[in-house]
Amino acid sequence: MPFISTNPATGEILAEYPVTTAAELEERLETAGAAFGTWRATPIADRALVMTRAAELIESEIPVIGEMLTREMGKTFAAAKGEASKCALAMRYFAENAARFLAPEAVEAGGRRSGVRFDPLGPILAIMPWNFPLWQVVRFGVPTIMAGNVVLLKHAPNVPTSALFLEDLFKRAGFPTGVLTNLFVEVDTVAALIGDPRVAGVTLTGSERAGRSVASLAGAHLKKCVLELGGSDPFIVAGHADLDLAVNQAVVGRIQNNGQACIAAKRFIVVRERADEFVDRFAAAMAAVRTGDPMDPEVELGPLVSRPQLDQLAQQVASSVAAGAVVRTGGAVLDRPGFFYAPTVLSDVPADSRAGCEELFGPVATVSVADDLEHAIAVANDSPWGLGGTIWSTDDAEIDRAIAELECGVVFANGIVASMPELPFGGTKNSGFGRELSVWGVREFTNVKSFHVS
């Protein structure tokens, strides 16, 4: 079955690409292995030069890249250009800092000298999602490549043009052939790839179900694995919240990437004393969101990525409403071409309903009321996921308590959760394990090797 690029705003098929044949796959695995031998021996300063060149290429092509992302995935043109810029920023950051992050560390352990060094592992299989077609790959791939590894990219089947762009970008920047290799392979090929002795590790960003499968396979072959899985991030509005800021950012947090982000705010938990005003204002602000053609600069919310994604969200909402959830605004598929769902706010959501216990991957928010901050944190933690979370307050004591007690990998105060090169990114509980970005991301796929000279 070919890999098909479809415009979610219209349903139009943009391009089709053939599946990688068995012979082609074998050739690419051999090429990646050979590239690793060359790349690991390349001085970090030289790696940095070509990585900086890749950043320069992106920066010179942002409008073209943005249009490609918008047409293939459906995010707004502004968001698409922002994603491209963020990729260039990360490339520059790791080009500038990788040598420091990977420098051997001296340790006092007696003898003449002792320490730790960080050696690359080899070809790393990356199973990537469609929602941030470039950034997800860059977030894992750039630190990993700067560490001396090479990447085998199995991208989501609905963003093939983005996958080819990345492979071509690395070639144009001057990386050796095989440092980043695209594989148009079906899901049933992944198990064999993970088991292939030429593959040194695997990372996946995707669903919890996919994460369990990949972790099981990686474990069976004793290979390093990093998982960034789903999330249902809490957005806590505390007693000392600035409601103007909280309402504005609640909308931004819920509709970012058309609501299709693991780290998007999804569960809005408000202390009782602020609840009525917040819910009324939040519902009104969501109702005012401009929805339509994502290439239109006035549009804030574009389509969902596909018909199955739209149908699933509609079923989750309908089932939850039937169970007792109250629609404050939205709650319907929009009657227009493409895969559009109305910005939606649900309150009084039963905990055992689909909206109460499943991740909602689209512009649908659930709001619940907590007695106080202690109760709000308890509600936030009553979740199988632990990716990100936010606290909205002008009181440092409230902020510090949330930072300490929220069970997640990333906590932001008075700002929506974001991934940034300087901070490690990843989750806990069913949101996965391992870290991307920062010094932790650079070292994730390395052999932390101790040495001691007597």
Which of 127, 62, 124 has the alpha carbon at shortest distance from 88? 62
Over residues 311-332, the pLDDT tens digits come to 999 999 999 999 999 999 999 9
Going by pLDDT thresholds of 50, 70 and 90, the confidence category of residue 2 is confident
148 Cβ contact partners less than 8 Å away, ≥ 6 residues apart: 36, 39, 40, 42, 47, 119, 120, 446
- Residue 378 has φ and ψ, to the nearest 5°, of -65, -45
Superfamily covering domain 233-413: Aldehyde Dehydrogenase; Chain A, domain 2 (3.40.309.10)
- Size of the chain, expressed as the number of residues it contains: 454
Q: What percentage of the chain exceeds 70 in pLDDT?
A: 100
Which of 358, 366, 207, 202 has the alpha carbon at shortest distance from 279? 366
Q: Please report, for the chain, the start and end positions of each structural domain, with discontinuous segments joined by +.
A: 3-229+431-453, 233-413
Q: How many CB atoms lie within 10 A of CB 105?
A: 11
Query: What pLDDT score does 1 carry?
Result: 75
Q: How many CB atoms lie within 10 A of CB 71?
A: 21
Q: How many CB atoms lie within 10 A of CB 318?
A: 16
Over residues 132-180, the pLDDT tens digits come to 999 999 999 999 999 999 999 999 999 999 999 999 999 999 999 999 9
Average pLDDT over residues 378-398: 98
Give the residue numbers marked as catalytic. 228, 262
Residue 193 has pLDDT above 80, yes or no: yes
CATH class of 3-229+431-453: alpha beta
Residue 421 has pLDDT above 90, yes or no: yes
Query: What pLDDT score does 430 carry?
Result: 97
Alpha-carbon distances of 230 from 310, 430, 437, rounded to whole Å: 17, 7, 18
**Average pLDDT of the chain?**
97
**pTM for the full predicted model:** 0.97
Going by pLDDT thresholds of 50, 70 and 90, the confidence category of residue 247 is very high
Q: Do 343 and 330 contact (CB within 8 A), yes or no?
A: yes
d(CA 95, CA 356): 43
Residue 411 has pLDDT above 80, yes or no: yes
Residue 4 has pLDDT above 80, yes or no: yes
Over residues 76-104, the pLDDT tens digits come to 999 999 999 999 999 999 999 999 999 99
Residue 309 has pLDDT above 90, yes or no: yes
Over residues 58-69, the pLDDT tens digits come to 999 999 999 999
Over residues 102-134, the pLDDT tens digits come to 999 999 999 899 999 999 999 999 999 999 999
